[in-house]
Structure 1
Amino acid sequence: MENSRIIGGRLALVLIVAAGAAGCASDKVKQEGPEAGAPRTHVDSRDPWEEWNRGVQSFNDGLDDYFMKPVAKGYQWATPKFVDKGVTNFFSNVDDVSVIANDLLQFKLLQTGQDLGRFLVNSTIGMAGFIDVADKLDLPKHYEDFDQTLATWGVPSGPYLVLPVIGPGSPRGVVGFAGDTAANPINYITPASIPWGAGAGRFVDVRADMLSATKIADEASVDRYEFIRNAYFQQRNYLIHDGNPPLGEDFGGGEGVEMEFELQGIEDRANEAIEKEKAKPVSP
């Protein structure tokens, strides 16, 4: 149960930095780090495609500022809190199909039973997952994906890779994303407009849930790109090791310990901001 809380917190952090990439366009000059063409004093061996990645992150930032953030704000304004929560729960329940499959592929048999029970309870008593009944029955949410499965099989992640719209990742993560997409039962519903519409709705829902916390990544580091990269690798490491990564793991070019404390403090503020936003009364 405790590991699930830890991993959930790490996911909150990575969603902040990946879904929003945080910050207004006017703030980006001071956040982008080294100027274009300037020599870099430190090259991260995990990021040989840094020039490409920075360009794509800049594109994603602009897309978020001028499209996703306004759409998410409109969704949040128009959607009652209980409906918003229900939509989030529904997509989380759909995700449990992939979680169960990856439980089996990683030979986590006890967790497979827990997640199968969670899915059955929420799909029936929880009205297709809109109500998270399983959490009240001590069936916690787990986070397993095909990228983690490949990691447990010994497949290396490969270099850091930022993709348009999708955000931070790696070559292994791209394969993992494809596998999880194939495991999503919604994607087999016809006509094709239903899966596409569901995917767009989920993306907006996630972005709206992160609105209250997106400014935190801007406060995290002078070079936001490096912070997001390090946060991504640390989050994946936590997931792969079920919240208990090896001690002394290096997350950022020799800055592993400092990065851990920095992320923990930012994560705590992120979770506090999210909880405060959820506690606000619903506007009439």
Structure 2
Amino acid sequence: MTYRYILVCLLAVVLAGCAAKPEPAGNAPATDTVSHSSKQAEQPGAAENEPTIAEQLSAGQSTSIETSQGTLTLEPTVVDMEPAAEDNVTDGEAAPLYYDPLEGWNRAVFRFNHVSYTYALIPIAKGYEKVLPSAVRDKVGNAFANIREPLNLVNNALAGNFKGAGTNLGRFVINSTIGIFGLFDPATAWFDMAASKQSIADTLSHYQVGNGPYLVLPILGQSDVRGATSVLGEAFIHPLNHLVDTPELYYLQGVNVINSFSDRADLYQTLYKQADDPYLYFRNQHLQGLKRDEAYVKPE
């Protein structure tokens, strides 16, 4: 399958991007903070000093936006971003900044993604929303999540989480039968079997494999070296690959991307327009998400 070899070549190009790395973080401009500020949104009648949505989120405040699906309330996750002991600085000394060795590559791909989202993916996603109501889109998402359950099972087992692996098996059997090929989720609604998603990246994290540098992937967006390894690995072993032949496989993968992106399109546009430097804003939000995930302990 040709696309697999394309993915392998992409990984090689990503690693080659290290050659285009910027100046070390110590020489970076002081504006590159952990939670980047946003510029004032251009809203008619809004007060000049009224904080924008991105500024409210950065300040740890809840906010809401109007989308094609109605009003979305955003609750920020406040994450401790205290520097490591070796990074502590004395009074009057500038705080250490995140070292982004792949920034040259990342910014180029980030710009490519933004153009692709603006002129292709977002218009397609909005058309998809008009054709399929939210209830139908939810069922499509359920079906793709159900197809992924065997992959979750393998990763949970490799991480030693056999309870989670058992949950994956139970959910797959119940939702594939009673749930009509995963369109519905009776495993959660009737049997109280909550989803236990586990990716290759999660399994690597269990064995203390670090994230590696921040990395922006074409179309797929924000990630890191460990996450990119997970994406490439799952491209080879995802159950869908063994159930459907090409070109139907590509069509289904496209539907999965559009379906998952459609709920985030409006939020992406809103935050992008308000950020002074969208690359830094989205990068720092991603890094805070990683910090949150590191501190999260899955319930037994």
Q: TM-score range by the shorter chain?
A: 0.5 to 0.7
Bigger mean CA offset, 219-228 vs 66-75? 219-228
Cα separation, 1, equivalents of 2:282 and 2:169:
33
In 2 relative to 1, CA 164–44 (structure 1 residues): closer, same or farther, beyond 3 Å?
Answer: farther
Structure 1 counterpart of 2:198: 144
Any conservation in 1 of the 2:149–2:168 contact (CA below 8 Å)?
yes
Secondary structure class of the residue paired with 1:179:
helix
Letter in 1 for 2:258: V
Question: Where do 1:236-247 residues align within 5 Å?
Answer: 236-239=290-293, 242=296
Letter in 2 for 1:95: R
Structure 2 counterpart of 1:69: 122
Residue 175 (structure 2) pairs with residue 122 (structure 1)? yes
Match for 1:90 among 143, 152, 155?
A: 143
Cα separation, 2, equivalents of 1:229 and 1:186:
31
Query: Does 1 or 2 have the higher relative contact order (CA < 8 Å, sep 6+)?
Result: 1
In 2 relative to 1, CA 167–95 (structure 1 residues): closer, same or farther, beyond 3 Å?
Answer: same
Root mean square deviation of aligned Cα: 2.4
In 2 relative to 1, CA 126–190 (structure 1 residues): closer, same or farther, beyond 3 Å?
Answer: closer
Question: Where do 1:172-187 residues align within 5 Å?
Answer: 172-187=226-241
How many residues of Structure 1 are paired with residues of Structure 2 in the alignment?
Answer: 207
Match for 1:101 among 154, 157, 160?
A: 154
Structure 1 counterpart of 2:282: 228
Structure 1 counterpart of 2:29: 40
Cα deviation 1:48-75 (Å, max 9, x = unaligned)? 1212211211110010000001101111
Secondary structure class of the residue paired with 2:216:
strand
Please identify which structure carries the higher helix content. Answer: 1
Structure 2 counterpart of 1:34: none
Cα separation, 2, equivalents of 1:133 and 1:61:
38
Cα deviation 1:66-124 (Å, max 9, x = unaligned)? 00011011111111333211101101111222211111111011121122211211111
Letter in 1 for 2:246: A
Cα separation, 2, equivalents of 1:116 and 1:62:
40
| 1:237 CA drift (Å) | 4.2
| 1:193 CA drift (Å) | 0.8
Any conservation in 1 of the 2:156–2:162 contact (CA below 8 Å)?
yes
Which 5+ residue runs of structure 2 have no aligned equivalent?
1-27, 33-95
Q: From the CA coordinates, give the structure whose radius of gyration is larger.
A: 2
Any conservation in 2 of the 1:157–1:171 contact (CA below 8 Å)?
yes
| 1:225 CA drift (Å) | 1.6
Which 5+ residue runs of structure 1 have no aligned equivalent?
1-38, 245-284
TM-score, structure 1 normalization: 0.66
Sequence identity percentage: 29
Match for 1:189 among 219, 233, 243?
A: 243
